[in-house]
Structure 1
């Protein structure tokens, strides 16, 4: 048994070492080409910044599909953000209780390649608490021309204004 193991070890060693012994030696010639020196010039560019003229309301609280209840004080502003894809006709129709006022309402499309259609985005509502008590922000996402079936996506944010 020891002879078989010794033979196998010798055979494996020979197989691994043989290619190195019989290979042709390759040499690499030294590079003699000289590359001329390149001068680097500094280029100065002006940075232009655009002023944003649209006034964005200050907000104290944010809400999304995962938020269903908030406590706020009068004059605080909440930013409610919900996903929307108006290219399909589905948009949010929201209603506010009397103690809430809509300050701003915008839709922003997600980044997409030029020419791409059917891209969704987010709809943002800035809502200010103006009256104390239990208030609510209610939204239903549906196509405007369709009747309500009860299967639409809805969102309710209950707000206790103190």
Structure 2
């Protein structure tokens, strides 16, 4: 009996540590640094304070006609967006055909919401096979 009590105690401690609530582990960022979200975070959830901003940075190649079609839920406000060609794609201020870059959006989170984007040619109908990006935003 004396050997099982320490074993059970250790087991209970391990179970408690393994089942900590997500809310404890996923606190809003309090470092004051701006989050930069990339395609690597596709499908993830970020946690922010009300009014905090973040940067969304996705690879894009508009010289081929493809661009991200961004959609924001209410409570997520677009502050600005801009396309940046890779340094090697600019020669004398002229964009080289076929060489991409990245698109950057600055978004302010006022409420929970979702960012969705579809990478497509705007004039073509959606087929369901397009590349997509989704980000859930939780505001504390």
- TM-score by length of structure 2 reads 0.69
- 8 Å Cα contact 1:94/1:139 also seen in 2: yes
Residue 112 of structure 1 aligns to a residue whose secondary structure is helix
Q: How far off its partner does 1:59 sit?
A: 6.4
Corresponding residue of 1:69: 45
Structure 1: distance between partners of 2:104 and 2:33 = 12
Question: Runs of 5+ in structure 2 lacking a partner?
Answer: 1-31
Which structure shows the higher strand fraction?
Answer: 2
RMSD: 1.7
- Which of 117, 128, 131 does residue 150 from structure 1 map onto? 128
1:137 to 108, 112, 115: 115
Gaps of 5+ in 1: 1-57
Residue 15 of structure 1 is matched in structure 2 by none
Structure label with greater radius of gyration? 1
The total of aligned residue pairs comes to: 103
Determine which structure has greater relative contact order: mean sequence separation of CA pairs < 8 Å that are 6+ residues apart, divided by chain length.
Answer: 2
Shift, 1:130, TM fit: 1.4
CA shift at 1:117, angstroms? 2.2
Match of 2:107 in 1: 127
Contact 1:76/1:129 (CA < 8 Å) preserved in 2? yes
Superposition deviation, residue 85 in structure 1: 0.2
Give the Cα separation in 2 of the matches to 1:125 and 1:102.
Answer: 7
Further displaced range: 113-122 or 84-93: 113-122
Structure 1 segment 49-68 matched on structure 2, within 5 A: 60-67=34-41, 68=44
Moved over 4 A (4+): none
- The two structures have a TM-score, normalised by structure 1, of 0.60
Matching residue of 2:79: 103
